[in-house]
Amino acid sequence: MAAWKTTEFASDHVKLVTWNVNGLNAVMGRKDLQKFLKEEDPDVLCLNETKMDEKKLVANKVKEDLLPEKYLHFWNCCKSSSGYAGTAIFSKVKPIDVKFDIGVVEHDLEGRTTTLEFEKFIIVACYVPNAGQKLDRLAYRTKKWDPDFKTYLKSLETTKHKCVILCGDLNVAHQEIDISNPKGNLRSAGFTLEERAEFTNLLNAGFVDSFRKLHPSEAKYSYWNLRSGARATNKGWRLDYFVVTDSLMDAVEESDMLSSVMGSDHCPIKLVITLSKVKAPAGGAAVEKVKAETEKKEEVVATETKTKKTSVKKASTSKIEKKSQEKSAKKEKKSPSSGKKSSAKKGSAKKH
């Protein structure tokens, strides 16, 4: 039986890896990915910048021939152009749910996110849009994508009540320690104040940069410009992350760069977690509490409204009954005098 036919991980220690492969055709053609999967054997592998489309997947028989059978594959290819962006996730375990993109048309054309839900957590493979060499997409990136993507991640937490693991090339070096030449790149895509501020906003929303949390003063990179030979001199950027729901940090065993792995201008990075230590986010309980309180308030308001309507109806009925009684009383008072007059007339008639 293939491993992915079960929804449970084989071990309590789960290894997650993400890698921007800068084109899957090249990295697989050199057998770099196959070698990596055999040696590292991750439980879940997330890929960024696959540059694949459905036609290439079929033509190259990527799904059937080139990848180990123990993995179930999920592909989100770019819809707007061929050979651009794209994400994928390979998993040994069958997910509970799968979601492609974030549900915002403007952001959903380039295959930038793939989301899998497991029993204890949700993992989001993401390739964040680059602001561009001339920063022509900076406004789109920071004013549209970043806020909408943060909303998407928080909605996963609150609707599923599970911890979220965001991973991939997030296209930002958050702090000066995350880039080899901070002063020379202040207006470079990936290190602008605007992009760094949006990443801070994400962390302030209840997420943690797992590597920086475990290694507060260590300078390590995940991307090097191949054209300038930057990898040989280690002049790089830390653009790839495992960002997790804050409560998940108690379950994190390891978060690190796999700097020795070649095959792309990025190196893979990994996260190891202990499943038994994964707890639902505090926000989930809080959401349930608020929901319960809201429902209770609505119930009270509905009861009060119903009671008020009943009281008004009773009061109205009471007034009608009172008026009816008053009319009846008046009639009764008039009835005897009318009778006397009638009798008098009759008596007079008799005397005559």
Residue 343 within any structural domain of the chain: no
Residue 237 within any structural domain of the chain: yes
pLDDT value at 324 more than 70: no
> 221 is in which domain, residue-wise?
3-280
Q: For residue range 275-297, list pLDDT tens digits in order.
A: 999 999 975 444 444 455 556 65
**Alpha carbon distances (Å) from 168 to 38, 89, 121, 125:** 21, 11, 16, 6
Residue 288 within any structural domain of the chain: no
Residue 335 within any structural domain of the chain: no
pLDDT value at 239 more than 90: yes
Is 57 in contact with 63 (CB distance < 8 Å)? yes
Q: For residue range 8-59, list pLDDT tens digits in order.
A: 999 999 999 999 999 998 888 888 999 999 999 999 999 999 999 888 777 7
| Average pLDDT, rounded, for the chain | 86
Q: For residues 216-238, b (16+ Cβ closer than 10 Å) or e, as one string?
A: eeeebbbbbeeeeebbeeeebbb
The amino acid at 263: G
Is 262 in contact with 32 (CB distance < 8 Å)? yes
Q: Total domain count for the chain?
A: 1
**Distance between CA atoms of residues 317 and 311, nearest Å:** 10
Side-chain half-sphere CA neighbours of 331 within 13 A: 6
Residue 63 within any structural domain of the chain: yes
Residue 131 within any structural domain of the chain: yes
CATH number, domain at 44?
3.60.10.10
- Give the residue numbers annotated as catalytic, written as ranges: 127, 169
Residue 171's region, left for phi above 0, alpha for psi from -120 to 50, else beta, is left
pLDDT at position 56, please? 76
**Distance between CA atoms of residues 192 and 199, nearest Å:** 11
Residue 280: beta bridge partners? none
pLDDT value at 3 more than 80: no
pTM of this structure: 0.80
Residue 251: beta bridge partners? none
Q: State the pLDDT confidence band at 144, using cuts at 50, 70 and 90.
A: very high
More confident site: 244 or 335: 244
Of 140-149, 192-201, 217-226, 292-301, the one with minimum mean pLDDT is 292-301
**Distance between CA atoms of residues 222 and 189, nearest Å:** 16
Classify strands 240-245 and 113-117 as parallel, antiparallel or unpaired: unpaired
Residue 319 within any structural domain of the chain: no
Residue 172: how many CB atoms within 10 A of its CB? Answer: 29
